[in-house]
Amino acid sequence: MKKALFPGSFDPLTLGHVDIIKRGVALFDEVIVAIGINSEKNYMFSLEERKQFIEDAFKNVPKVKVVTYEGLTVQFCKEIKVPFILRGLRNPADFEFEKAIAHTNRKLSKIETVFLLTSARTSFISSSIVRDVIRNNGDYTKLVPDSVRVK
């Protein structure tokens, strides 16, 4: 069974994330969406909310699992025996950043990183942009799945 870990903070889940997860499901038997916990980061949404957003968005997709973790992503992959990390690339800056992490991960382990280019219709979306739209009372609903609703 080929499994891939799709790590991130998902603060919040965006249509870009959804695109990568759906396309990852076509490539892997299981995609584990892993929400990283960083106590030094100030999140807009709680860990429970972020997890619920993802679980609700993929409730009818049995090949998608949602977990949380702390520490190095590559170490977590080793612990749960997942040989692939799945990452989405929106632009050249993403590629340069993700390439350095992928090389480091491969130096630390035998875990491979698989990159998928985001679709043209979602390539401009980032969680930070969505948070900015929310903070400024804009219509964020065109950027996130239906499971993401601000109270």
Query: Among residues 39, 41, 107, 151, which one is catalytic?
Result: 41
Query: Among residues 22, 65, 90, 106, which one is catalytic?
Result: 90
Residue 17 is among the residues annotated as catalytic for this protein: yes
For residue 102, the model assigns a pLDDT of 96
Residue 41 is among the residues annotated as catalytic for this protein: yes
For residue 151, the model assigns a pLDDT of 61
For residue 120, the model assigns a pLDDT of 93
Helix spans in the chain (H) = 15-27, 47-57, 73-79, 92-108, 127-135
Q: What is the pTM of this model?
A: 0.94
Residue carrying the six token digits 């480091």: 104
Domain boundaries, the chain: 3-142
Report the distance separating Cα 92 and Cα 84, nearest Å: 22
Query: Among residues 3, 50, 51, 127, which one is catalytic?
Result: 127
Query: Among residues 3, 17, 50, 87, which one is catalytic?
Result: 17
List per-block mean pLDDT (blocks of 10 residues) for the chain, which spans 151 residues: 96 97 98 92 94 98 98 96 97 91 93 95 95 96 92 61
Residue 127 is among the residues annotated as catalytic for this protein: yes
* CATH class, range 3-142: alpha beta
DSSP 99-123: HHHHHHHHHHSS-EEEEEEPPTTTT
